[in-house]
Chains A and B, each alone.
Chain A
Amino acid sequence: MSWLTTPPTARQFSRVAVVGLLAVGLAAAGCTKKTDSPGAGGKLAAGPGVTDTTIKLGVLTDLSGPYAPLEKAVAQGRALYWEKQNNTVCNRTVEFVTKDHGYKVPDATAAYAAVKSDVLALAELLGSPEIAALKSDINSDQMLTGALSWSSANIDNPYIVIPGTTYDADMINGVQWLMDKKGIVKGDKIGHIYVEGEFGENGRAGSKVAAAAAGLELKEYKIGATATDLTAQITTAKADGVKALLITTTPAQAGSAVGVAVAQGLEVPIVASGPSFSGTLLTGAAKAAVEKNMYITTSIAAFSSPGAGTAAVKAALTAKFGADLAKSQYGLLGYAQAQIMHTILDTACKNKDLTRAGLLKAFQSLTEVKTDGVLPTLDYSKIGGIPARSSYILKPNSATEGGLDQIADLFTSPTAITYTPKK
Chain B
Amino acid sequence: MTEFLQLLVAGVSLGAVYALLALGFVVVFKATGVVNFAHPALLVTGAYATARLTSTYQWNFWLALPVGIGGAILLALGIQRFLVYPMAAQAVTAITIMTLGADLVVRTEVTREMGAVDLLAVIDPWGNHVIRLGGVVLPVTRLVALVAGIVLITAFFVWFKLSTWGIAMRAVAEDPETAALMGIRRSRVAALAWMLAGGLAAVAGLFLIVFPTPGFSSTTYVAAIVAFPAAILGGLDSTGGAIVGGLVVGLSVTLAQGYAHQLNFLGDNFYEVMPYVVMVLVLLVRPAGLFGTRELHRV
Contacts and interface: CB of A to CB of B under 8 A. Distances in A.
Q: Classify A-B as touching or not with yes or no (CB < 8 A).
A: yes
B3 A285 contact: no
A233 B55 CA distance: 28
A127 to B, nearest CB: 15
Interface of A: 65-70, 72, 196, 221-233, 235-236, 238-239, 250-252, 255-256, 259-260, 262-265, 278, 280-281, 283-286, 288-289, 326
A251 B119 contact: yes
Contact of B212 (A66, A226, A259, A278): A259
30 contacts: A69-B117, A196-B268, A196-B269, A222-B260, A225-B219, A228-B208, A228-B220, A230-B212, A232-B255, A232-B271, A235-B10, A236-B3, A239-B2, A251-B118, A252-B119, A256-B212, A256-B213, A256-B214, A259-B212, A260-B212, A262-B128, A263-B130, A263-B212, A280-B117, A280-B215, A281-B119, A283-B55, A284-B55, A284-B214, A284-B215
Given A196-B268, A259-B128, A232 B10 contact: yes
B123 A226 contact: no
Given A252-B118, A259-B128, A285-B210, A232 B258 contact: yes
A222 B268 contact: yes
A66 B118 contact: yes
Contacts of B259: 236
A283 B118 CA distance: 12
Interface of B: 2-3, 6-7, 10, 14, 55, 116-124, 127-128, 130, 137, 139, 208, 210-215, 217-220, 222-223, 254-255, 257-261, 268-269, 271-272
B214 A236 contact: no
Contacts of A231: 10, 212, 254
A5 to B, nearest CB: 29
Contacts of A67: 118
Given A232-B7, A235-B3, A250-B219, 16 more contacts: A69-B116, A221-B260, A232-B254, A232-B257, A232-B260, A235-B10, A236-B3, A252-B215, A256-B212, A256-B214, A259-B128, A260-B212, A280-B118, A283-B121, A283-B215, A284-B55
A368 B128 CA distance: 47
Contacts, number: 135
A229 B220 CA distance: 10
Contacts of B10: 231-232, 235
Question: Which of A69, A232, A233, A250 gathers the greatest number of chain B CB atoms within 10 Å?
Answer: A232
B261 to A, nearest CB: 7
B219 A226 contact: yes
Contacts of B121: 280, 283-286
A229 B272 contact: no
B65 to A, nearest CB: 15
Contacts of A224: 269, 271-272
B213 A252 contact: yes
